[in-house]
């Protein structure tokens, strides 16, 4: 259940009977011809669908993340790493204070990874709590399904092109973009990164069939559901 559809009394009552909760993380950054909010859209949606009718609260997605590579693309917004780490730990503080002790972070952006280390420090200060960090898009079953569908998959390519991340009236290029040189890309400043990358797709087709994408999504939802609900100590 979305926390946006609950009041404080309902949250309090829920925490008394089940201390599991979910926090989705995203990013606002270029995704070629797709929405700038792809990572936020997908992490929140997969979390909400995975929680389903369980009653487990899904907090609003933290839409802004750590994305310094893309700051020269208009609309891309990054937080400083120190700001982001402080923000994530503040969010965990608030969720734990509300009575939730088993928290799943559903992360939708690879650049947010450095904050995972801050979660370990937070757990040291909050004994008795548990936090799972779930990168939904490259979790084992989901990534295996992506690779089985098309091994040439990357940032802003077909693998992020779902019906709910496309923009009305925006056509996708029909060709397959060659994969970029990641080692070269990583060494460059943001302006040079933009010049090398161009439209933002790292490589691969821009779009595949809805049938392909919905099959991947079904695997992702089920895998995320198991992380949220099962196997807690």
Can you spell out the DSSP letters for 24-37? EE--B---TTS-TT
- Residue ranges of the domains in the chain? 3-142+210-229
pLDDT exceeds cutoff 90 at 36? yes
Mean pLDDT computed over 131-138: 98
CATH architecture of 3-142+210-229: 3-Layer(aba) Sandwich (3.40)
Mean pLDDT computed over 137-163: 98
Mean pLDDT computed over 208-219: 98
**For residue 135, what are the β-bridge partners?**
107
pLDDT exceeds cutoff 90 at 145? yes
Mean pLDDT computed over 101-121: 98
Helix (H) or strand (E) holding 75: none
Structure tokens at 31: 């995704």
Q: Find out whether 20 and 102 touch, Cβ atoms under 8 Å.
A: yes
pLDDT tens for 39-79 read 999 999 999 999 999 999 999 999 999 999 999 999 999 99
Q: C-alpha distances in angstroms, 115 versus 30, 36, 88, 96, 135?
A: 21, 21, 7, 17, 12
pLDDT band at 98 (very low <50, low <70, confident <90, very high): very high
Helix (H) or strand (E) holding 22: strand 20-25
Higher pLDDT, 152 or 233: 152
Q: What pLDDT, on a 0 to 100 scale, did the predictor assign at position 233?
A: 86
């Amino acid at each position: 259940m979305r926390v946006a559809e609950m009041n404080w009394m309902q949250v309090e009552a829920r925490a008394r009977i089940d201390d599991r909760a979910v926090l989705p993380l995203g990013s606002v950054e270029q995704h070629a011809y797709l929405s700038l909010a792809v990572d936020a859209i997908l992490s929140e949606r997969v979390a909400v669908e995975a929680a389903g009718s369980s009653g487990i609260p899904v907090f609003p997605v933290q839409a802004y993340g750590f994305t310094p590579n893309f700051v020269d693309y208009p609309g891309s917004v990054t937080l400083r790493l120190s700001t982001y780490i402080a923000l994530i730990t503040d969010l965990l503080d608030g969720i734990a204070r509300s009575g939730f002790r088993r928290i799943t972070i559903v992360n939708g952006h690879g650049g947010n990874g450095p904050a995972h280390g801050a979660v370990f420090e937070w757990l040291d200060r909050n004994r008795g709590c548990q936090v799972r960090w779930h990168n939904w898009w490259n979790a084992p079953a989901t990534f295996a399904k992506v690779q089985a569908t098309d091994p040439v998959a990357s940032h802003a390519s077909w693998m992020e092109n779902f019906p709910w991340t496309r923009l009305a009236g925006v056509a996708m290029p029909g060709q397959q973009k060659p994969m970029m040189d990641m080692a070269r890309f990583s060494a460059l400043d943001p302006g040079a990164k933009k010049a090398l990358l161009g439209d933002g797709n790292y490589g691969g087709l821009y779009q595949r069939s809805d049938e392909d994408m919905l099959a991947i999504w079904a695997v992702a939802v089920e895998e995320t559901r198991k992380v949220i609900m099962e196997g807690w100590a």
